[in-house]
Structure 1
Amino acid sequence: MEKDLRIIFMGTPEFAVPSLQILVESGFKVVAVVTAPDKPRGRGQKVIPSPVKAYAVEQNIPVLQPTNLKSPDFHQELKQYNANLQVVVAFRMLPEAVWSMPEIGTFNLHASYLPQYRGAAPINWAIINGEKETGITTFMLKHEIDTGSIIFQEKESIHADDTAGSLYTRLMYKGSKLVLKTVQAIANDKYTLLPQQEEGVELKGAPKIHRDTCKIDWNQPAEQIRDFVRGLSPYPAAWTTLDTRTGEKTCKVYAVSNTGEKNPNLAAGQYITDNKNFIHIQTQDYLLSFDELQIEGRKKMTVEEFLRGNTL
C-alpha cells in the first residue's frame, strides 16, 4: 500500500525548482518549503525571493526562511508540519537535528555520480577535470557530507562543447525526474539503500569555487585551459588580465578554442592580435583563441566586438 507522504522540500536556486514542480504536479503533498532568506540582487540591489520561494508562493505552499538552521525556534516550526520525508535539492548543509527529524528520513539530489565529486560544485569540477561522463544521485543524508547510502543513480555524458551552464540545465531536468522516481519508490516502499563504493577508487572532490580558483594559468596545456574555461562558464567565469592602451584590465573569459598552432616566439601567457578579429594567446603547447570575453565594467561580447572598443 502506498504511504501517505507529507514532504518538506528544501532548496534555493533555479536548479531546485523543476524538482519541486514535478512533485507538486505529480500530486505529492508538499506541506512546506524551506529556502534561503530574500537577498538584494542585481545592479539595483532590489530584494527578491529565491526561485524556489517564488514557485512555492505561486502554489500557496508555506515558506520557511531560517537564518540559522540550528535555531530551536526553526526546529519547532519544522516539527509542526509533521512531515515524514524531507527532500533536499541545492540547499545548505543541514544539522542532524533537521535531517533526522522525519520518520522516513531526508534524501538529497546531488549533481554527480557519487562517490565522485562530493562537494559544492560538482558540475564545474567534472568539466574542469576533462571528464567525459558525470551523473546524478539521490541518497539519504548522514553526518559526513555527500556520503549517505544511495537510492538511485543515472549517468550523463559530458559533450565536448558543454559548459557548466549547458550541463547544469540538462542535470536540472534529469535530476527532477530522479527526484520523482525516488519519492515514488519511497511511497511504495520499493527501494534499496546501497552504501557508496569507495574502496579502490581514486576520489575527486568538488570544493566550493572562489575567485582565486578561477584565474587562468597559461602555463597549462591548451585543452586543459579550455576545459577550465568551459567548467566555469557562464558562472563564476574564468579570468585573466590583458594590457590595453588604457592600462591592465581584468577580463572574464567565457569561451576559447584551440587553434592547433604554436608560436615559438611567445612565452606562455603572451598573446598576438590584429586588434580587429582575433586574440591568440600562447599556452604550454598550442595557441588558444579568445572567443567570448568581458572586460571589467562592460558587458559580455565576442572577440570582434571586444576589439572594436579595446586596443591591446
Structure 2
Amino acid sequence: MGTPSFAVPALQALHAEYGVSCVVTVPDKPSGRGLRLTQSAIKEKSTHLGIHTILQPEKLTDPAFIEQLQSIHPDIICVIAFRILPARVYSTARLGAFNVHASLLPKYRGAAPINHAIINGEKETGVTSFLLNDVVDTGSILHQIRYPVPPGCTAGELYDALQPLAAQCAVETTGLLLAGTAKPRVQEEVLASPAHKVFRETSQISWERPTQTVSNFIHGLSPVPCAWTLWNNQILKIFRVTPAQAPCRHGEWTIQNRELFIGCSDGAVRIDEVQLPGKKRMNTANMLLGYRGASSGICTTKVNT
C-alpha cells in the first residue's frame, strides 16, 4: 500500500522477490490545466509490472473495500508513504502488517521525517519497519537500516538516497515474517520525537540564527516547500547554501564577485541556488547576470509597500 515515488522501488523489489497479489493506492485525481485524471506513481508501476488487482478506495473504512481485501487473504501487508490504516484493514494480514518509515524510529514520528533529520543536523538517519497498530508510527520495530547523512545534503537528495534502503528494508522484513523469525521490539518512548508536516508559511528564514542552523534549515526544506527570504522586496526561494565569511551582520546581504552572501549570527552563507517569482530555479551567478540593483541591503521580514 502506497502512493508516491518513494514507494516504487519497494514495490518493484517485493514483486520481484515474492510476488505482489494486490496494490492499494489513492484514486486517480484531476491534474494540470486540462484536469486530466492522473494515476499515482504506485498505480503506474503496478500496471507496468502486470499486477492486475489494484484497489483505490476513497475511504479505507469502506465496507466494500474491506470485503475485497479480505477476499484476497493477504499473508503480509506492507505500507509505505500511505494513509493511516484502520485496524479492520491491517488485521486482515495473516502474518502481519508493517510500515516502512524514513527515520530511525522512535526518532521523527510523523509526516516529514526526512525534512526534520536535515533541519536538526542529524549525522545519521535511515529506515525502519514496524508493526502497525492504532497509534501512528509507534508499533514494535521489526528491522532498521542506517544511513550516514552526507554534509550539505538536502531533503530531496536524502529522499532519493533512502528509496533503495526502504526497498531493501521491505524485502528483508517480509522475509523475516514469512520465516517466522521476526523479533519485534517495543519503541523507547523516551527517545521519541515528532516530525510534523512542513509548510511554506513556516519556511521563512531567521537570519539571526547561527550559520550551521540556517544552512540545515534551508537544506531541510529543499526542494519543497523551500525556505525563503525577502530580498530586494520580493520573495527569494533558496535551495542551497554554503557557510562562508562575509562582511555583513545577520539579515544583511552583499554581492561580491557575482556571489550573494547573507549574514547570520556568527558568520554568513553564500547563496548557491535560488528562484525568484515567475522564474526558474537557477544558480545565483545566473540570477545576478545583468543585475543592476544595489550591491548590499537587508532581508526584510515583510514586503515594503
State if a TM-score over 0.5 links the two structures: yes
Q: Distance in 2 between matches of 1:137 and 1:169?
A: 16
Contact 2:73 2:92 in 1 (8 A): no
Contact 2:7 2:80 in 1 (8 A): yes
* 1:153-177 deviation per Cα after TM superposition (whole angstroms, max 9, x unaligned): 1211111121112211121101101
Name the aligned partner's letter for residue 200 of structure 2. R
Q: Distance in 2 between matches of 1:93 and 1:262?
A: 50
Name the aligned partner's letter for residue 126 of structure 2. G
What's the counterpart of residue 109 of structure 1?
A: 100
What's the counterpart of residue 250 of structure 1?
A: 235
What is the CA distance between 1:48 and its match in structure 2?
Answer: 2.0
What's the counterpart of residue 7 of structure 1?
A: none
Matches within 5 A, 1:1-312: 10-26=1-17, 28-41=18-31, 45-61=35-51, 62-199=53-190, 201=191, 203-243=192-232, 248-263=233-248, 266=249, 268-274=250-256, 277-308=258-289, 311-312=292-293
What is the CA distance between 1:256 and its match in structure 2?
Answer: 0.9
Q: Distance in 2 between matches of 1:58 and 1:178?
A: 23
Contact 1:125 1:231 in 2 (8 A): yes
Contact 2:251 2:264 in 1 (8 A): yes
Contact 1:105 1:140 in 2 (8 A): yes
Q: Distance in 1 between matches of 2:167 and 2:282?
A: 33
Listed as ranges, the gaps of 5+ residues in structure 2 are 294-305
Contact 1:262 1:285 in 2 (8 A): no
Q: Distance in 1 between matches of 2:27 and 2:258?
A: 45
Name the aligned partner's letter for residue 206 of structure 1. A
Q: Distance in 2 between matches of 1:23 and 1:217?
A: 43
- Bigger shift: residues 36-45 or 253-262: 36-45
Secondary structure of the corresponding residue to residue 256 of structure 1 = strand
Contact 2:96 2:177 in 1 (8 A): no
Contact 2:95 2:178 in 1 (8 A): no
Distance 1:261 1:204, change over 3 A: farther
Secondary structure of the corresponding residue to residue 30 of structure 1 = coil
What is the CA distance between 1:262 and its match in structure 2?
Answer: 4.3
Q: Number of matched residues?
A: 292
RMSD over aligned CA atoms reads: 1.7
Name the aligned partner's letter for residue 272 of structure 2. D
What percentage of aligned pairs have identical amino acids?
Answer: 39
Q: Distance in 2 between matches of 1:311 and 1:204?
A: 47
* 1:206-227 deviation per Cα after TM superposition (whole angstroms, max 9, x unaligned): 1111112221111111110101
Distance 1:102 1:311, change over 3 A: farther
Secondary structure of the corresponding residue to residue 11 of structure 1 = coil
Q: Distance in 1 between matches of 2:98 and 2:222?
A: 29
Name the aligned partner's letter for residue 199 of structure 2. H
Q: Distance in 2 between matches of 1:41 and 1:310?
A: 36
Q: Distance in 2 between matches of 1:128 and 1:44?
A: 37
Q: Distance in 2 between matches of 1:216 and 1:47?
A: 36
Distance 1:95 1:280, change over 3 A: same
* 1:125-157 deviation per Cα after TM superposition (whole angstroms, max 9, x unaligned): 001001111111110001111010111112111
What is the CA distance between 1:293 and its match in structure 2?
Answer: 0.3
What's the counterpart of residue 4 of structure 1?
A: none
Name the aligned partner's letter for residue 153 of structure 1. Q
Distance 1:295 1:44, change over 3 A: farther
Distance 1:218 1:44, change over 3 A: farther
What is the CA distance between 1:40 and its match in structure 2?
Answer: 3.6
Listed as ranges, the gaps of 5+ residues in structure 1 are 1-9
Distance 1:310 1:11, change over 3 A: farther
Secondary structure of the corresponding residue to residue 29 of structure 1 = coil
Distance 1:311 1:108, change over 3 A: farther
